Amino acid sequence: MKKPFALSLIAAALMVAGSVQAKEVTDADISNDAKTTGDVVHFGLGQQGQRYSTLDKINTKTVKNLVPVWSFSFGGEKQRGQESQPLVFDGKMYVTASYSRIFALDAKTGKKLWKYEHRLPEGIMPCCDVINRGAALYDNLVIFATLDAQLVALNKDTGKVVWKEKIDDYAAGYSASAAPLIVKGMVVTGVSGGEFGVEGRLEARDAKTGKLIWIRPTVEGHMGYKWENGQKTENGISGTTNATWTGDLWKTGGAATWNGATYDPETNLIFVGTGNPSPWNSHLRPGDNLFSSATVAINPDTGKIVWHYQTTPHDGWDFDGVNEFVSFDYKDPKTGKVIKAGGKADRNGFFFVIDRTNGKLINAFPFVKDITWAKGIDLASGRPIYVDENRPGNPAAGEDGKKGKTVFAAPSFLGGKNQMQMAYNPKTGLFYVPANEWGMDIWNEPVSYKRGAAYLGAGFTIKALHDDYIGALRAVDPVAGKIVWENKNFAPLWGGVLTTAGNLSFYGTPEGYLKALDAKTGKEVWSFQTGSGVVAPPVTWEEGGEQYVAVVSGWGGAVPLWGGDVARRVNFLEQGGSVWVFKLHNGK
């Protein structure tokens, strides 16, 4: 009798040990991600997307002792652009890679624990390289989107598929590459494919099961839906049909939500940026074309739009508006009142400060030095002051009807800032924006919609504006409305930023360097060559009393695919695919 009793005790002990091992990510873990230093459980180091860490062991004095701990190669021939932000939880790192792959690694040693490689069909149509920007953690799951427009949830400890749901039809031009947002037990995702005339939208699913809870279109005229007890019901039309779109073009209106979303618990609002209206040829679609090229605020409990702010109404340059909306507290210089605000460095070249409770414009100013399409932003109306002659011409007005007047526009359609995420440091009060100075020749052409085909109606050539640099990491003061300092870079910047209480701002360059700058002055204080271009955002965390920094390396993304003259300027850069982890030598 003693032997079975002893065995049962051992079995019970193993069960307890197993339960301790398999920690789960809770709503509280996600809500507190920006405050906790022992993990990184959400994209943006927190739902608000500030990309700020309170860690300060690595600082302007100690960063000179920062050395590599380990590096892991994604392997194979599937390299291309690597834009992923790693997640770290319970001693494990979860990092996605090109071609819809995800790896689980030991965060201390880099040992591979498991790998999942999504089976991609022939005929996928990603606009801007085969990238993925990261995963989401919830409960015992790690969840990420795929290039064939699916959402996959894996057991985070084993890599086994728990659920898989189709977002939409890849054959119609849909894809997905953004890191999901987790809000109140829901996984919130958008869609890519604005260049194919998709229907932009945001959708929320039960994170544990993948079942739909609501869908909110981001093109005016489309119906939203919600699901309760498995029953689908209508949840109201987005906007008013034909109010800002004439005819039927709203049905293929784009406004893709391809760069993901942020969430602010103080206002209980999801903020999502929307892409360009389709097609690019603006003469085919008179009006503001809501809700394209905008920030849209959505109530996560109902899936309804609470407010919107359109950064480029009637977009004719493919400026999009997908850039992240980062919550922060804005102190009014006139009244001293603290306003719940959000900052957005838009692709159109202007930095916007918006009241995040109601969408009212507080401030707007350039964060790039060359802007030709608008003279500025009218702070009273919130609208751009257009330079009409800088809109690409109407092909129908030309002699042959095949090509409209070519104009030179700055910034280029790749934007003053694109997918690369900025950071906000509450200690300095500054945003750190990876900016680019470039322009384009652009013209319009006739076009008609064909399912699954490119839907542009425009041609373009991107050009550098300066011989010595394209990229510049800029510190931006949202209150004073000015650039405080800049650190120039020869190639375009395409990776995100991390800022810390150690008075540092980390970012990578296409030339392969991970750099640390003094967050107050912009002086470079450390750099490391990763072997390939960095187009991803760094992260930091603490374990065993030591602070770690990690970044993914691998050149690619939109620049070499769409960059015209600029792409030829950086064609010497080598591809790669790896993650690097650093800490202070001997912990000092």
C-alpha span between 257 and 48 (Å, rounded): 17
Q: Is residue 27 part of a domain?
A: no
Best CA proximity match to 269, nearest among 380, 212, 170, 354: 354
C-alpha span between 87 and 399 (Å, rounded): 56
Q: Is residue 19 part of a domain?
A: no
Residue 290's CATH number = 2.140.10.10
Q: Is residue 279 part of a domain?
A: yes
Q: Name the pTM for this structure.
A: 0.95
Task: Spell out, as residue ranges, where the chain has pLDDT lower than 70.
Answer: 1-21, 399
Token look-up 């728990």 returns: 162
Q: Which residues of 63-73 are buried (b: 16+ CB within 10 A; e: fewer)?
A: beebeebbebb
Contact present, 98 and 577 (Cβ < 8 Å): yes
Residue 438: which domain range?
A: 61-587
C-alpha span between 429 and 446 (Å, rounded): 47
Q: Which residues of 341-360 are buried (b: 16+ CB within 10 A; e: fewer)?
A: bbbbbbbbbbbbbbbbbebe
Q: Is residue 343 part of a domain?
A: yes
Q: Is residue 2 part of a domain?
A: no
* φ, ψ for residue 282, nearest 5 deg: -70, -15
Token look-up 């770690």 returns: 548
Contacts of 414 (CB under 8 A, 6+ apart): 347, 436, 438, 462, 492, 558, 559, 562, 563
C-alpha span between 224 and 214 (Å, rounded): 7
Three-state secondary-structure class, residue 586: helix
How many angstroms separate the Cα of 316 from the Cα of each of 275, 379, 526?
A: 12, 22, 41
Contacts of 425 (CB under 8 A, 6+ apart): 52, 432, 499, 500, 505, 519
Q: Is 320 a catalytic residue?
A: no
Catalytic residue among 157, 318, 320, 346: 318
pLDDT of the residue at 1: 42
Measured CA angle at 125 (ends 124, 129), to 5 deg: 105
Instruction: Find residue 82's DSSP bridge partners.
Output: none
C-alpha span between 586 and 588 (Å, rounded): 6
* Token output for 166: 């189709």
Q: Is residue 55 part of a domain?
A: no
Three-state secondary-structure class, residue 403: coil
Count of helices and strands (H, E) across the chain: 4, 40
Q: Is residue 14 part of a domain?
A: no
**First-to-last C-alpha distance (Å) of the chain:** 56
pLDDT of the residue at 12: 46
Contact present, 354 and 344 (Cβ < 8 Å): yes
Q: Is residue 340 part of a domain?
A: yes
| Count of the separate structural domains present in the chain | 1
Contacts of 19 (CB under 8 A, 6+ apart): none
Longest dimension (CA), the chain: 99
